[in-house]
Amino acid sequence: MWRLRLIPDTTDIPFLRWRKILFVFSGTLAVLSVVLLFAKGLNFGIDFEGGILIEVGTERPADIGGMRAVLGDLGLGEVSLQEFGSDTEVLIRIERQSSDAEDQLAITAVREVLDAKFAGEITYRRTERVGAKVGAELIEAGIIAMILAIALMLVYIWFRFELPFAIGAIIALVHDVLLTLGMFALFGLEFNLAIVAAILLIVGYSMNDTVVVYDRVRENLRKYKKMPLIELLNVSVNDTLSRTVMTSLTTLLALAALLIFGGEVIRDFTIAMIWGVVVGTYSSVFVASAILMYVRPGTGTNVAKSGFGDAERTKALDDPAEDEALQRFAALPDSGDNGEDDSAAPDDAPESEATGSRASRRASTSRAKRNKRRRKKRR
Amino acid sequence: MVVLVCAAAVLFAVPNLFSQRSLSSSYPGWLPSQQVSLGLDLQGGSHLLLEVQVEKVLVERIEALVDDARSALRGERIGYTGLKRRGQKVVLQLTKLENIEAAQELLSDLDREVEVVGTEAGAFELSLNERAIAERKNSALGQSIEIIRRRIDETGVSEPTIQRQGEDRILVQLPGLQDPERLKRLLGKTAKMSFHLVDQTVSELDLARGRLPPGTMRLPADDEVDSEGNPRFYPIRKRVMVSGDALVDSQPTFQDNQAVVSFRFDASGAKKFGRVTQENVGRPFAIVLDGKVISAPVIREAILGGSGIISGNFNTQSAKELALLLRAGALPAPMNILEERTVGPDLGADSVEAGKIASAIGLIAVLVFMLLYYGLFGIVADIALILNLIIIFGVLSILQATLTLPGIAGIVLTIGMAVDANVLIYERIREEMKSGRSPFSAMEAGYKRAFTTIFDSNLTTLIAAVILYLFGSGPVQGFAVTLGIGILTSMFTAMLVSRYILVWWLKRFRPKTLPL
C-alpha cells in the first residue's frame, strides 16, 4: 500500500547548530511585535472598548453608501460600515456613547432610520453592545486568565520536570503570545474576547508541543548520561520531529476547514489559531529546546526523581525481568485469553507469557547492545 | 468496559441526529433523548446583562429616615438644624447641647437597622448598619429578578434564563427572541406608579423658575410639549395619595376610540382611592410613572369602585406595554443594561450550517490524511477519532451542555488534535520496532511509553481549557467545554479503544512486521 511520507524515518537535522541565528530571528520578531503593540496598538473590538456592533442582512446587494449617509446624520460619533463576508451583509460599528441609556437610544435610532430607508429589505442578524464597565472588566478577566494560565503551566512543568524546563517553556510561550499579538497589531485585525480565548488555546497548544519535546529530552537525559547536551537536545528534537509535524498538520487541516467553511463570525479566531499553531510548532522545535542549552537541565537526580515511576520504567528498558511485566500489561485490555495465542484457553496463559518474555528478552538484549554501540559512536 | 462506555456514548449521542419533533413522536421512550442544547449564538436569541442600581434603594431608605428623625425630634421638642441626607447618611446638629443624651437615645431607638454616631458637640450622623445594607441590596436584587421574570413571562418568551450574577447584576438569556427592542423597553422601565394631587397654588411663573413651596415638586409631562417643543411641567405634591403597589390588575382597552389602560385596586387601595377622589372633586389628579406625569385629569366625581382608567397619549402598543408593566409590578430600583448580545435566527442557522460543513470537511481531511500516512494503523486511529466525536456528543448530551459557535470550533480543533495521542503512540511504536522489538512487544512498549507524554502534554491543554471556562463568558465557555471534553475523550479513545482494536488485530493475523 502506498504511504504518504513527509518526514523521513530517521532524521538528523542539526537544529541546535542554528540556534544563534534563530534566536536573533525570534528575538527580532518578538521585539518588533512589542514595538508594533506600542506604536500601532491593537484594534480592540467592542468587547473591550465598549460600543455597538450591528450586523444587517439585505435582500439585494447592500447600499452601503446609502446606509452611511442616513447613519451619519444621527450624530452618533464614529460610525463605520463594512461588507461582512458577502455583499448582502453589512457590519455597522458605532462608538460608545456617553452612557448605557444613550447606547440604547443609539441602537433604537439606528434601527428606526434603517427601517425607514430600507423598509422590509433589511434583517438584523446580530446586535452587540458592551458598556464601558463590562469592557473594563472583560479586559481585566482576560489579563488575569492569561497570567494564571501561564503561571499554572510553569508550576506544572516545574513539578513534572524541573525548573530549567519550566523556564524554557515559559520563554517559548511568551514568544508565541508576543508574536500573535504582533500579528494582530500589524494587520489591524479585531482583537476581541474570542481572540483572547484563541491565545489561551495557543498557549495550551504550544505547551503541548513543547512538553512532547521536553519529555523526550528528559528520557534521553537518563538514557545517554554522557552525551553532550547539544547533541542530546538535537537527538530529542529529531526523535519527536515526525510527531510534531504530523500533529501540527492534522490540526492545521481541521483549522483550514474552519477558516474556509466556518463562516465570517469566527474567521479572525481561526486566523489567530492557525498562526498560533505555526508559531507554536516553530517555537517548540527551535526555541524551547535551544533555551535548554542555556538553562542546562541537570542530568542527575532531579530528573530521575520527577514524574510517577518514570525512573523505574527507564530501568525496565535494560532489565529483561521487567519486560515480563510489560507483557502482562500488554494482555490487560483483553480479558480472558492471553498474549500471543488467541485460540489458547485461559489456563495456557502462563506458558504463552513465558514465550512472550523470551521474545522480549531477545529484543531488549539487542536493544541494549545497540544502545551501547550508539553511545560509543557519539563519543 | 471500553465497549460499554462506547455503547453508552452512542446511545446518548444518537438523539442529536433527530429533529426535536421526530424525537418526541417516534423515538422509543426508554432510550435517553436529551439533546445537546444550542447556545444563543446558534439558535438566535438575546443575552442581556442588567445592573440593578441598588444604591437608589438605599437612598430612598435614607430619605425616609430623614422624615422619621424629623418627626421624632419634633415630638420630643428637641431643637435641631441642618437635618438632611448627605450621601448614604443622615446628618443633623442639635441647637442645645443639653439635649445630647436625650437625642442620642431617641435616635437610637428609631430603628434597629440604624447606627447613630455623635460626630462632634451636638452633631449626629445616622447610617444603616452593614447588615441592613446587605439585606436591602439582596432583597432589591431578589425582587428585581422576580419582577423581571413576571414581565418576561407576560411576553410569552419560552424558556428564559434569569440568573443573579454577583452583587447587583442579573443575566437574562432569551432564546429565539424576535423583538429585542420591545423587551429592552419593558426591562428598562422601573414602572413605579403613584397618584398625586397637583399643587394649584403655584403660579406658572414660579413653576418655570422652580420656586416651589416645600412638599411640592416639579415633574415633566411624559409626552406633552409646549409650543417650543420643551416638555410641559407640573407642580406635583410630593405626598403619594395612592401607590401603584395597590394595583391588582391592569389591561389595555379603548375609550372613545383612544387606547387607554384600565386598572383595578385591591380593597385597601380602593378605599384610599375612593376617599381621595371624594375629597378632591373638581381638582386635577396626577398619575405619575417613573417621575413623569402621564396625565393629570380633573376628578369629576368620587370613584368608589376601586377601578379606573389612565388616559394619555397611548397607541395600542404602548397601552399594552404599560398594562403589562403595571400588572407585573414595579422594580425596586432602576436598571442599566450593561451588555447586550442579540443574534437573529438567520445568522444562528447560517452558523450551524457553516459549522456542520466545516466539521465534516475537517473530519474527512484528517481521516484521509491519517489513512494515507499510517495505512492500516491510520484506519484504527480514524475509528478512534470517529468514536471520539460520538463520545463528545454523548457527554455533551448527558451534561446538557450548551453548544456554541466557538464550541463548534472547539470540536473542529479537537478533530485535529485528537489524533495527536495516536500519532504519539504510533511514532513511538515505530521507534520501538526500529530498535528490533517484535510487533507485539513494540506495540505495548509504544503504548506504555507514550502514555506519560500524552498525559503531560494533554494536561497543559486541559489547564488552558479550565481557565477559559472559569474566566470566559457564554460562547467562550462553550468552547472550553467542548475542548476539555475532547481532550479527555481523545485520551480515552487513543489509549484504550485503538489499543483494543490493535491487540485484536495482532492476535487475529499475527503479522511478522507492523505496517507502520
- Taking only the tens place, the pLDDT of each residue in B481-509 is 888 888 888 888 888 888 888 888 888 88
CB-CB neighbours of A116 under 10 Å: 9
- The answer to whether residues B255 and B363 belong to one domain is no
A251, β-bridge pairs: none
At A28, the pLDDT band (50, 70, 90 cuts) reads very high
Structural contact between residues A208 and A286, judged by C-beta atoms closer than 8 angstroms: no
In angstroms, what separates the C-alpha of B373 from chain A's closest C-alpha? 5
Mean pLDDT (chain B, rounded): 84
Write out the residue range of the structural domain in which residue B308 sits: 193-328
Task: Please give the pLDDT value at position A353.
Answer: 39
- The answer to whether residues B402 and B500 belong to one domain is yes
Residue of B449, B420, B419 whose CA lies nearest to B432: B449
The beta-carbon neighbor of A340 closest among B440, B445, B456 is B440
- The answer to whether residues B40 and B79 belong to one domain is no
Task: Please give the pLDDT value at position B151.
Answer: 86
CB-CB neighbours of A174 under 10 Å: 14
The residue-averaged pLDDT of A57-66 equals: 86
Domain covering A15-43+135-302, topology? Multidrug efflux transporter AcrB transmembrane fold (1.20.1640)
Residue of A5, A285, A113 whose CA lies nearest to B378: A5
Residue B284 DSSP label: B
Q: Where are the domains of chain A?
A: 15-43+135-302, 51-130, 309-332+348-378
Task: Please give the pLDDT value at position B29.
Answer: 59
CA B297, B298, B301, B304 torsion-angle sign: positive
**CATH number of the domain where residue B423 is located:** 1.20.1640.10
Residue B4 lies in a domain: no
Task: Please give the pLDDT value at position A183.
Answer: 93
Residue B299 DSSP label: P
At A319, the pLDDT band (50, 70, 90 cuts) reads very low
Whether A193 contacts chain B with CB within 8 A: yes
Residue B500 lies in a domain: yes
Highest averaged pLDDT of the listed ranges A215-219, B16-20, B67-71, B111-115: A215-219
The beta-carbon neighbor of B456 closest among A2, A215, A270 is A215
- The answer to whether residues B361 and B504 belong to one domain is yes
Name the residue with cell 444604591: B55
In angstroms, what separates the C-alpha of B49 from chain A's closest C-alpha? 9
Task: Please give the pLDDT value at position B320.
Answer: 85
Q: How far apart are CA A91 and CA A80, in angstroms?
A: 8
Task: Please give the pLDDT value at position B363.
Answer: 92
Residue B145 lies in a domain: no
At B31, the pLDDT band (50, 70, 90 cuts) reads low
Joined grid coordinates for residue B471: 474566566
Of the listed ranges A218-222, A252-256, A300-304, B172-176, the one predicted with least confidence: A300-304
Q: How far is the CA of B313 from the CAs of B199, B221, B262, B290, in angstroms?
A: 23, 11, 14, 16
At B104, the amino acid letter reads Q
The beta-carbon neighbor of A208 closest among B180, B181, B461 is B461
At B413, the amino acid letter reads L
What pairing do the DSSP bridges indicate for beta strands B242-243 and B193-197? antiparallel
Whether B39 contacts chain A with CB within 8 A: no
- The answer to whether residues B64 and B40 belong to one domain is no
Structural contact between residues B39 and B405, judged by C-beta atoms closer than 8 angstroms: yes
In angstroms, what separates the C-alpha of B409 from chain A's closest C-alpha? 7
The beta-carbon neighbor of A197 closest among B365, B406, B435 is B406
**Dihedral over alpha carbons A317, B487, B492, B434 (to 10 degrees):** -30
Whether A314 contacts chain B with CB within 8 A: no
Contacts of residue B325, defined as CB under 8 A and 6 or more positions apart, other chains included, come to B151, B186, B189, B191
Task: Please give the pLDDT value at position B439.
Answer: 83
Whether A111 contacts chain B with CB within 8 A: yes
Residue B49 lies in a domain: no
- Domain final residue, candidates B328, B357, B379: B328
A323, pLDDT greater than 70: no
Task: Please give the pLDDT value at position A330.
Answer: 47
Minimal-distance CA residue of chain A relative to B515: A1
The beta-carbon neighbor of B373 closest among A3, A55, A160 is A3
Residues 60-99 of A with CB under 8 A from B: none
What pairing do the DSSP bridges indicate for beta strands A190-191 and A43-44? parallel
CA B48, B53, B59 angle in degrees (round to 5)?
Answer: 170
- The answer to whether residues B352 and B438 belong to one domain is yes
- The answer to whether residues B241 and B280 belong to one domain is yes
**CATH number of the domain where residue B307 is located:** 3.30.1360.200
At B210, the amino acid letter reads G
Joined grid coordinates for residue B264: 383595578
More confident residue, A360 or A104: A104
Q: How far apart are CA B219 and CA B202, in angstroms?
A: 13
More confident residue, A360 or B432: B432
**What are the backbone dihedrals phi and psi of residue B355, each rounded to the nearest 5 degrees, phi first?**
-60, -45
**CATH number of the domain where residue B60 is located:** 3.30.1240.20
Residue of B362, B510, B497, B392 whose CA lies nearest to B440: B510
Residues 178-207 of B with CB under 8 A from A: 180-181, 184, 188
Task: Please give the pLDDT value at position A271.
Answer: 92
Structural contact between residues B514 and B438, judged by C-beta atoms closer than 8 angstroms: no
Residue of B374, B397, B387, B412 whose CA lies nearest to B494: B387
At A256, the pLDDT band (50, 70, 90 cuts) reads very high
Task: Please give the pLDDT value at position A279.
Answer: 94
Contacting residues of A for B452, CB less than 8 Å apart: 215, 307-308, 310, 313
Residue B147 lies in a domain: no
Has domain A51-130 been given CATH number 3.30.70.3400? yes
Highest averaged pLDDT of the listed ranges A325-334, B3-12, B23-32, B54-63: B54-63
Q: Is B472 close to A128, i.e. CB distance below 8 A?
A: no
Contacts of residue A207, defined as CB under 8 A and 6 or more positions apart, other chains included, come to A153, A157, A169, A173, B457, B460, B461, B464
Task: Please give the pLDDT value at position A355.
Answer: 42
Contacting residues of A for B180, CB less than 8 Å apart: 127
- What would the pLDDT profile of B307-342 be if each residue is shown by its tens digit? 888 888 888 888 888 888 888 888 888 888 888 888
A116, pLDDT greater than 50: yes
Task: Please give the pLDDT value at position B68.
Answer: 84
- What would the pLDDT profile of B430-483 be if each residue is shown by its tens digit? 888 888 888 888 888 888 888 888 888 888 888 888 888 888 776 778 888 888
CB-CB neighbours of B260 under 10 Å: 20
CB-CB neighbours of A95 under 10 Å: 15
A50, pLDDT greater than 80: yes
**Reduced 3-state DSSP string for chain A:** CCCCCCCCCCCCCCHHHHHHHHHHHHHHHHHHHHHHHHHCCCEECHHHHCEEEEEEEECCCCCHHHHHHHHHCCCCCCEEEEEECEEEEEEEEECCCCCHHHHHHHHHHHHHHHHHHCCCCEEEEEEEEECHHHHHHHHHHHHHHHHHHHHHHHHHHHHHCCHHHHHHHHHHHHHHHHHHHHHHHHHCCEECHHHHHHHHHHHHHHHHHHHHHHHHHHHHHHHCCCCCHHHHHHHHHHHHHHHHHHHHHHHHHHHHHHHHHCCCCCHHHHHHHHHHHHHHHHHHHHHHHHHHHHHCCCCCHHHHHCCCCHHHHHHHHHCHHHHHHHHHHHHCCCCCCCCCCCCCCHHHHHHHHHHHHHHHHHHHHHHHHHHHHHHHHHC
Of the listed ranges A25-39, B220-234, B398-412, the one predicted with least confidence: B220-234
Percent of chain A topping pLDDT 90: 17
Q: Is A145 close to B354, i.e. CB distance below 8 A?
A: no
The residue-averaged pLDDT of B274-293 equals: 88
Whether B81 contacts chain A with CB within 8 A: no
- The answer to whether residues B316 and B354 belong to one domain is no
The residue-averaged pLDDT of B75-81 equals: 84
Residue B338 lies in a domain: no
Task: Please give the pLDDT value at position B80.
Answer: 85
At A2, the pLDDT band (50, 70, 90 cuts) reads low
Name the residue with cell 535551544: A290
- The answer to whether residues B224 and B76 belong to one domain is no
Mean pLDDT (chain A, rounded): 78
Of the listed ranges A149-158, A327-336, B458-467, the one predicted with least confidence: A327-336
- What would the pLDDT profile of B198-224 be if each residue is shown by its tens digit? 888 888 888 888 788 878 888 888 877
Count: domains in chain B? 3
Q: How far apart are CA A262 and CA B409, in angstroms?
A: 8
At B477, the amino acid letter reads Q
Structural contact between residues B20 and B38, judged by C-beta atoms closer than 8 angstroms: no
At A333, the pLDDT band (50, 70, 90 cuts) reads very low
pTM, entire model: 0.77
- What would the pLDDT profile of A192-237 be if each residue is shown by its tens digit? 888 888 888 888 888 888 999 999 998 888 888 888 888 888 888 8
Classify each residue of B31-45 as buried b or exposed e, where b means 16 or more C-beta atoms within 10 Å of its C-beta.
eebebbebbbbbbbb
The beta-carbon neighbor of A200 closest among B369, B420, B464 is B464
Task: Please give the pLDDT value at position A266.
Answer: 85
The residue-averaged pLDDT of A48-53 equals: 89
Chain centroid, CA B454 distance in Å: 39
Structural contact between residues B498 and B423, judged by C-beta atoms closer than 8 angstroms: no
In angstroms, what separates the C-alpha of B362 from chain A's closest C-alpha? 4
Q: How far apart are CA B366 and CA B385, in angstroms?
A: 9
> What's the maximum distance between 2 C-alpha atoms anywhere in chain B?
110
Q: How far apart are CA A360 and CA B437, in angstroms?
A: 7
Size of interface A-B (CB pairs under 8 A): 294
- What would the pLDDT profile of B371-390 be if each residue is shown by its tens digit? 988 888 889 889 889 988 88
Phi-psi category of residue B445: left, alpha or beta, with phi > 0 → left and psi -120 to 50 → alpha = alpha
**What are the backbone dihedrals phi and psi of residue A141, each rounded to the nearest 5 degrees, phi first?**
-60, -40
A162, pLDDT greater than 80: yes
- The answer to whether residues B469 and B416 belong to one domain is yes
Task: Please give the pLDDT value at position A332.
Answer: 46
CA A118, A82, A134 angle in degrees (round to 5)?
Answer: 100
At B8, the pLDDT band (50, 70, 90 cuts) reads confident
Q: Is A254 close to B453, i.e. CB distance below 8 A?
A: no
The beta-carbon neighbor of B180 closest among A127, A327, A367 is A127
Q: How far is the CA of B23 from the CAs of B26, B28, B32, B44, B512, in angstroms?
A: 6, 8, 10, 21, 50
Joined grid coordinates for residue B11: 446511545
- Domain final residue, candidates B127, B154, B169: B127
Q: How far is the CA of A362 from the CAs of A323, A331, A366, B368, in angstroms?
A: 10, 19, 6, 37
Joined grid coordinates for residue B313: 397619549
More confident residue, A361 or B246: B246
Task: Please give the pLDDT value at position A364.
Answer: 46
Residue of B40, B43, B1 whose CA lies nearest to B20: B43
Contacting residues of A for B465, CB less than 8 Å apart: 204
- What would the pLDDT profile of A266-314 be if each residue is shown by its tens digit? 888 899 999 999 999 999 888 888 888 888 776 543 444 444 434 334 4
Task: Please give the pLDDT value at position A32.
Answer: 93
Classify each residue of A63-77 as buried b or exposed e, where b means 16 or more C-beta atoms within 10 Å of its C-beta.
eeeebeebbeeeebe
Joined grid coordinates for residue B461: 491543554
Q: Is A366 close to B412, i.e. CB distance below 8 A?
A: no
Contacting residues of A for B462, CB less than 8 Å apart: 204
Q: Is B354 close to A263, i.e. CB distance below 8 A?
A: yes
Percent of chain B topping pLDDT 70: 94
Q: How far apart are CA B271 and CA B279, in angstroms?
A: 12
Task: Please give the pLDDT value at position A277.
Answer: 93
